[in-house]
Amino acid sequence: MKKFEEKTISTEKIFSGKIVELQVDEVTLPDGKTSKREIVKHPGAVAVIPVTEDNKLLLVEQYRKPLEKSLVEIPAGKLEPGEDPDASVVRELEEETGYTTEDMTLLTSFYTSPGFADELVHIYLTKSLIPLEEKVAGDEDEFVEILEVTPEEADKMVAEQRIHDAKTIYALLYLKSQGWK
Amino acid sequence: MKKFEEKTISTEKIFSGKIVELQVDEVTLPDGKTSKREIVKHPGAVAVIPVTEDNKLLLVEQYRKPLEKSLVEIPAGKLEPGEDPDASVVRELEEETGYTTEDMTLLTSFYTSPGFADELVHIYLTKSLIPLEEKVAGDEDEFVEILEVTPEEADKMVAEQRIHDAKTIYALLYLKSQGWK
């Protein structure tokens, strides 16, 4: 859909980093006036809702520098260039939790911040976790701790704002809508 | 929580725009090594799930330049500097839909992309919409169209990826968990 399309007059590339790029587009608005749009480009991400045999949710705690605090989240990671999300999500599960799976279902996908960024997150579910015999190395600058939580423990973490991000809040609502308890 | 804290060695300010700022922090990791973190600063946002008297969901369609397409979303907008979210969300509802309310409930809040941005979105619900007698002017570079949808129409928009962002996907799951039909 191209309703209210904003045509690009010019693009100014500001920054190209390890993860994000930033550009400012000058655009023509539907009324003919011009404006500027600040746009963050991101490779996209995958996330997985991993439920254990005894009905607990696997979560990872990690430091989030933009917030200057750690959050407890469902396992996730950014897509490598050209990587298929279905493969990426198994790799992230293995790296972050020490489990793998042969049964991964795509639940939904969503843009996290369509006003200023193009990041698209694909959310998967697995209830068939297989422990890896050998640990898989993740990114060398990532430090995560694994947690297994009940619904009550997850609710407590939401109240304490230890769980406080879109994909994990979505995951909890999804599991509850499916009768998780 | 400061688990796995990453101490800032230096901050390089890259960009300061109308909406976002970008900086690159050099950090000390928990193992003593150093790394860089690309951080987008955003003022935060509010969004509202507005349900009409006849049980339809009010949505707005607008062009999202980062995606080069229009999306259908729950009404939302960024916080002005120092603005209280409770006031901001009523202002956004008025500007984008032509309704106001005296009954707005905060449902949840979440960071949209904690890996690279500090944007926090506050999600509200209202089921008491009052038509405004006079239209309230919104941002002059915003063009939106209002839609009223049933659950079936919303599902179709998700399948067509016209609805495709975190806060609106959350909103639909929330309403369904509350028996919306």
For residue range B135-179, list pLDDT tens digits in order.
888 888 889 999 999 999 999 999 999 999 999 999 999 999 999
For residue range A18-46, list pLDDT tens digits in order.
999 999 999 999 999 999 999 999 999 99
Q: What is the DSSP string of B58-71?
A: EEEEEEETTTTEEE
- Chain A nearest-CA residue for B34: A141
With a cut of 90, say whether residue B43 has pLDDT above it. yes
* Domain extent listing, chain B: 7-41, 45-177
What's the CATH code, domain A45-177?
3.90.79.10
| pLDDT over 90, % of chain B | 91
Task: Nearest by CB to A38, from B20, B113, B174: name it.
Answer: B20
With a cut of 90, say whether residue A8 has pLDDT above it. yes
Contact: A166, B111; criterion CB under 8 Å: yes
**B140 catalytically annotated:** yes
pTM of the model: 0.97
- Chain A nearest-CA residue for B163: A110
With a cut of 90, say whether residue A139 has pLDDT above it. no
**What is the C-alpha separation between B57 and B148, in angstroms, rounded?**
5
Looking at beta carbons, which residues of chain A come within 8 Å of B65?
6, 25, 27, 37, 39
> What does the pLDDT average to over A59-64?
98
Catalytic residue among A140, A145, A152, A160: A140
Q: Name the nearest CA neighbour of A78 among A19, A124, A125, A136.
A: A19
**pLDDT, position A5:** 96
Give the tokens for residue B81.
């500097």
pLDDT band at A78 (very low <50, low <70, confident <90, very high): very high
| pLDDT over 90, % of chain A | 91
| pLDDT over 70, % of chain A | 100
**What is the C-alpha separation between A181 and A48, in angstroms, rounded?**
19
Contact: A61, B22; criterion CB under 8 Å: no
For residue range B65-100, list pLDDT tens digits in order.
999 999 999 999 999 888 999 999 999 999 999 999
> What does the pLDDT average to over B8-28?
98
**pLDDT, position A136:** 83
Secondary structure element (H or E) that encloses residue B26, with its range: strand B21-28
Looking at beta carbons, which residues of chain B come within 8 Å of A25?
65
